[in-house]
Amino acid sequence: MVAVEPKKRGENLWGLEDTLVELEYLARSAGAEVIATVSQRAERITPTYLGKGKLQELKELLEDELPDVVICDDELTPTQQRNLEAALQIKVIDRTALILDVFGRHARTREGQIQWSHLERLGGGIGTRGPGETQLETDRRLIRRRIQKIESELDDVRKRRSHYLERRRRSSTPMATLVGYTNAGKSTLFNALCDAGVPAEDQLFNTLDPVTRRLRLPDGNDLLLSDTVGFIQKLSPTVVAAFRATLEELSEADLLLHVIDITHPKAPEQAEVVEQTLADLDLGGKPRLLVINKMDLLTDDPADVEMFDRIDLSVISGAESPAVGGRVFVSAARGWNLPGLLEAVLDQVGSSVAVSTPATA
């Protein structure tokens, strides 16, 4: 793995060590084994990504370790990728391509598979192509034809999904959607609330496709709850925009449940990524609750109110936003305070709750 940190980095950016930890986690989620890491702090990122001396150091390391691929932490330009592969004589991928590989492993619905297939055609991943060889270069006409077919299939799927969302809106049942940083425990919480059986392994982007289930609120009315793909730092806008299904779930929801892994050392930074992504999607004003998850890793007592009071949420980005209707401390893994969470949800959507009627096809 290779990473470069500009010496004059922004105040809110993650440190080099933190971003490398996350990159390794992504690589493992894509089925890769990380055998070495090279990093550099530089005045600027060069056309070869690394400076001359660090590039030579990397070449010598590759001769010793004989890896299959080099993964760069940033999104590379085509020129940077070509220059690196020419200098190193090995396949080079960037963070975006790595994320696409993880997406491809976890896409389960037809829409998710088609979306990933479309993106995968645009650049190489950890797969089998050699240095400098993308599918667009392998056979441009064939790929153009394939992309057109995929886009047509995806358009059909989106139309069907649009009809489904319209039926959901007409049912008058309120909708809530789980959002959060990847691996914050959204799917575990979703399963705990809905008994849904959604995979909740310790991997990044384990939930790629939106999943919706109906659950009962404390007043006896129904709520439609959706689980969606998690956010992550340095996620290419192209990739975000392509996963329109997730964006539709967020925009259609009456309430967003922002799930935060409070035990993660970068919890404030992760929350900031989520809040900034919501703002970038024009969803910053959407009503939401902060769901402070994994409390069982901080205390053995679910009634340890003093522990909850000691947690300083002022560092969590968006915690003081007018759109945030409150915060709820839970353990999705152990089922702590889930009734309290449902009560908080009811308080937020109660004014719009009506007795639901099944939507007709």
Asked if residue 294 belongs to a known ligand binding site, the reply is yes
Q: Any binding-site annotation on 31?
A: no
Residue 138, annotated as binding a ligand: no
Which residues 6+ apart lie within 8 Å of 215 measured at CB?
A: 193, 194, 222, 223, 225, 342
Does 207 show up as a binding residue in the annotation? yes
Say how far apart CA 88 and CA 60 lie, in whole Å.
Answer: 10
211 assigned binding-site residue: no
How far is it, in rounded angstroms, from Cα 69 to Cα 125? 10
**Per the annotation, does 337 bind a ligand?**
no
Q: Is 312 one of the annotated binding-site residues? A: no
Q: Binding residue per annotation — 181?
A: yes
> Does the annotation list 164 as a binding residue?
no
Look at strands 211-216 and 222-227 and give their pairing: antiparallel
Question: Is residue 83 annotated as involved in ligand binding?
Answer: no
| 184 labeled part of a ligand binding site | yes
Q: Is 185 annotated as a binding residue?
A: yes
User: 191: annotated binding-site residue?
Assistant: no
| Rounded distance between C-alpha atoms, residue 341 and residue 131, angstroms | 50
How many of the other CB atoms lie within 10 Å of CB of 127? Answer: 14
Is 180 annotated to bind a ligand? Reply is yes
43 vs 262: CA distance, rounded Å: 34
Q: Let me know: does 287 contact 250? Beta carbons within 8 Å.
A: no
Q: Does residue 228 have a known ligand-binding role?
A: yes
247 marked as part of a ligand binding site: no
66 is in an annotated binding site: no
The two structure tokens encoding residue 188: 């575990």
Could you list the residues known to form a binding site, using ranges: 180-187, 205-209, 227-230, 293-296
Could you list the residues known to form a binding site for GTP, using ranges: 180-187, 205-209, 227-230, 293-296
Could you list the residues known to form a binding site for Mg(2+), using ranges: 187, 207
